[in-house]
Chain A
């Protein structure tokens, strides 16, 4: 799929009546070295035995954005290596789209495109057709987010707009066409009395209709406030069945995930409230609170963690079992890891970001706190701008919390990234 899209993009660009002044380009090359301090005691990956993680590695990644006329292409080329794997090369067409202005009011876009609709900084519950992101890396520093194959129709009128999007995730894999999920989303936006206000509707095949809203408002010279809400009746999310069982001593013989709340009449909502304040000297502080009712409650998390500990103890030989059950238990442990999400697996989170920059230095501190178990990811970053084209950074991620908490039980205690970035 990627190869075809890449060739198509190259042909489109080659066939375009290119003039130097029409071509817009942006190139970013990042080389980043990583040192990981592994969490050897976590039951998720005891002694690094379940899913072995490297303790050091390097990634070099380049993102080239080209645009001519209405065509836009964003291409990623990466090579990575670490102490467990030989060098790996990859490429992806993150975006390849064509935008046509039908008139001053109407636009149509077709192709693979990243669309972001939310007003939140770290969390975007109303970003119904946007790539999933990690709150500890909201700016996607390595350019890993990819667009969706879509067609969108936009209507603009003054300070308002309406966007209708159709997403089709069908594609070709191993030379065979497969039918993917289809989605439709509608956003109506207006700006009224200083308030940015959007209403959003989203329907994905085999899922429920989602309705939501997002807004932002500026108070005075320093303060910006924003919020998002998205709700639906029931949820087609897949959950490990163990979250409904108090007895953790279970070994499932087949994939234990099911849409447990598919027929529920409960309203599953995601809500975000946040704001940012800029001090007179330029220091910027952003804070967000996020609640996701599709996440695990503290009780469900505890059941899941007890189950993980049970499987881990079997793997460590602390609970005698027949070899067949030990094997099955290993699969249970691996399947259990699907419950983890980089955006958080539980319900309540607080995000904080403080930034201070004075050329050539920039200092950023991110806190991603699980408000249910008070585990935390703290990410300080120092960047240095060597020139307009070259910068360097050091970024430390520290995971803290009790051994059974979400962030305290992850695979790492800490990650150090040191990188240089060339931009042109």
Chain B
């Protein structure tokens, strides 16, 4: 091999290596925001849909409380949560954009509530009702790493609207499937607040969707919440169901 041929070989090799290296990172058009948007599809199979959600609260491994909810989501910004437990039967939570109302059958009127007023346990209202992260957060790629054998993108999510459930999330998304795998949530102060692991995905209605996730409280040790999802399906409710004044007509 002469010098010219050698140079050409090195050049070609470097091109191949550089292309290969590039293939290991995100394709040019797959931005962090796009990855986030794709990951939302694993939690939201349709634009308008309903899902039965079960929340189990554990304290030091002991099951303390179980809550069951029918969640109906319309588009990106409207969610209606029907409470199914006997002691809160007939209760509804309505979220429209960043605003929330709760309707209790005993008081017979929708009451405006603040984001901190929780459904139960460590699950915030947003954990149940705001599952389209791309609407609420802007994303930045921090790094790529292998999590439990799965190569993942690690995104840094920052709230871009007031109604976002959290201020700062570190978010692991599996490469190839775009499924969320893990989330570490931080308070504005920087304190580690919660860890979420996205445990199970199952085939439902022709799509692979999240069916179980676990929330671990990092501020109060021993507290864990498991959220289970089933009976996913498309469901389109008229707009008026998401008007605060329609709540008293629901059962």
Taking Cβ atoms with an 8 Å cutoff, the residues of A that contact B are 24, 26, 65, 67, 72, 99, 101, 104-105, 107, 109, 114-119, 121, 130, 138-141, 143, 145, 154, 156, 158-161, 163, 189, 191, 194, 196, 216-218, 220-224, 226, 276, 278-280, 282, 284, 359, 385, 388-389, 391, 423-424
Query: Can you list 24 A-B pairs with a CB-CB distance of less than 8 A?
Result: A26-B89, A26-B90, A101-B238, A114-B108, A116-B109, A119-B112, A121-B111, A130-B108, A138-B107, A140-B107, A143-B106, A161-B246, A191-B96, A194-B98, A218-B100, A218-B112, A218-B113, A220-B114, A223-B114, A226-B112, A278-B116, A278-B117, A282-B118, A391-B87
In contact, A423 and B114 (Cβ under 8 angstroms): no
Give the complex CA separation of A140 and B238 in angstroms: 32
In contact, B99 and A191 (Cβ under 8 angstroms): yes
Q: Which 9 pairs show the lowest CB-CB distances between chains A and B? A: A116-B109, A156-B240, A67-B251, A104-B238, A216-B112, A24-B251, A278-B116, A161-B245, A221-B115
In contact, A388 and B239 (Cβ under 8 angstroms): no
How far, in Å, is B237 (CB) from chain A's closest CB?
A: 10
B177 interface residue, CB < 8 Å from A?
no
A-side contacts of B107, CB under 8 Å = 116, 138-140
Closest to A162 in B: B245
Closest to A95 in B: B108
Q: Chain A CB within 10 Å — which of B89, B118, B245 has the most? A: B245
Give the complex CA separation of A279 and B118 in angstroms: 11
**Which of A141, A220, A389 makes the CB contact (< 8 A) with B86?**
A389
Closest to B117 in A: A278
How far, in Å, is B249 (CB) from chain A's closest CB?
A: 6
Residues A224 and B114 in contact in the complex (CB < 8 Å), given A156-B239, A191-B96, A359-B65: yes
**Which of B64, B89, B112, B239 makes the CB contact (< 8 A) with A158?**
B239
B-side contacts of A191, CB under 8 Å = 96, 99, 244
How far, in Å, is B241 (CB) from chain A's closest CB?
A: 9
**Which of A105, A160, A224, A385 makes the CB contact (< 8 A) with B113?**
A224
B85 interface residue, CB < 8 Å from A?
yes
Give the complex CA separation of A154 and B121 in angstroms: 37
Interface 1/0 per residue, B157-168 and A, CB below 8 Å: 000000000000
Give the complex CA separation of A380 and B111 in angstroms: 22
Give the complex CA separation of A117 and B245 in angstroms: 9
How far, in Å, is A131 (CB) from chain B's closest CB?
A: 9
B248 interface residue, CB < 8 Å from A?
yes
Give the complex CA separation of A194 and B99 in angstroms: 7
In contact, B112 and A388 (Cβ under 8 angstroms): no
B57 interface residue, CB < 8 Å from A?
yes
In contact, B245 and A163 (Cβ under 8 angstroms): yes
User: Do most interface residues of chain B lie in helix, strand or loop, or is the interface mixed?
Assistant: mixed
In contact, A159 and B96 (Cβ under 8 angstroms): yes
Closest to A385 in B: B87
In contact, B249 and A107 (Cβ under 8 angstroms): yes
B-side contacts of A115, CB under 8 Å = 108, 248
How far, in Å, is A138 (CB) from chain B's closest CB?
A: 7
B-side contacts of A143, CB under 8 Å = 106
A-side contacts of B150, CB under 8 Å = none
Give the complex CA separation of A74 and B133 in angstroms: 41
Taking Cβ atoms with an 8 Å cutoff, the residues of B that contact A are 57, 64-66, 85-87, 89-90, 96, 98-100, 104-109, 111-118, 120-121, 238-240, 243-246, 248-249, 251
Give the complex CA separation of A44 and B86 in angstroms: 43
In contact, A118 and B99 (Cβ under 8 angstroms): no
In contact, A65 and B105 (Cβ under 8 angstroms): yes
Give the complex CA separation of A344 and B105 in angstroms: 25
Closest to B97 in A: A194
In contact, B239 and A104 (Cβ under 8 angstroms): yes
In contact, B57 and A359 (Cβ under 8 angstroms): yes
B-side contacts of A119, CB under 8 Å = 111-112
Give the complex CA separation of A276 and B102 in angstroms: 14
Give the complex CA separation of A383 and B109 in angstroms: 23
B-side contacts of A226, CB under 8 Å = 112
B-side contacts of A109, CB under 8 Å = 249
Closest to A225 in B: B112
Q: Chain B CB within 10 Å — which of A99, A163, A279 has the most? A: A99
In contact, A72 and B245 (Cβ under 8 angstroms): no
In contact, A221 and B87 (Cβ under 8 angstroms): no
How far, in Å, is B192 (CB) from chain A's closest CB?
A: 15
B-side contacts of A423, CB under 8 Å = 86-87, 89
A-side contacts of B65, CB under 8 Å = 359
A-side contacts of B243, CB under 8 Å = 156, 158-161
Closest to A106 in B: B240
How far, in Å, is B238 (CB) from chain A's closest CB?
A: 4
**Which of B57, B114, B251 makes the CB contact (< 8 A) with A278?**
B114
B-side contacts of A145, CB under 8 Å = 108
**Which of A72, A99, A118, A141 makes the CB contact (< 8 A) with B109?**
A118
Give the complex CA separation of A105 and B91 in angstroms: 23
How far, in Å, is A273 (CB) from chain B's closest CB?
A: 14
B-side contacts of A160, CB under 8 Å = 243
In contact, B109 and A117 (Cβ under 8 angstroms): yes
Closest to A113 in B: B248
A-side contacts of B96, CB under 8 Å = 159, 191
Please name 13 further chain A to chain B contacts, defined as beta carbons within 8 Å, in addition to the given A218-B114, A278-B114, sorted by A numbering. Answer: A26-B105, A107-B240, A115-B248, A118-B109, A121-B111, A191-B96, A218-B99, A218-B100, A278-B116, A279-B116, A359-B120, A388-B87, A423-B87
How far, in Å, is B92 (CB) from chain A's closest CB?
A: 12
Give the complex CA separation of A139 and B245 in angstroms: 19
How far, in Å, is B3 (CB) from chain A's closest CB?
A: 69
Residues A388 and B108 in contact in the complex (CB < 8 Å), given A24-B251, A224-B113: no
A-side contacts of B240, CB under 8 Å = 104-105, 107, 156, 161
How far, in Å, is B222 (CB) from chain A's closest CB?
A: 14
**Which of A67, A154, A218 makes the CB contact (< 8 A) with B245?**
A154
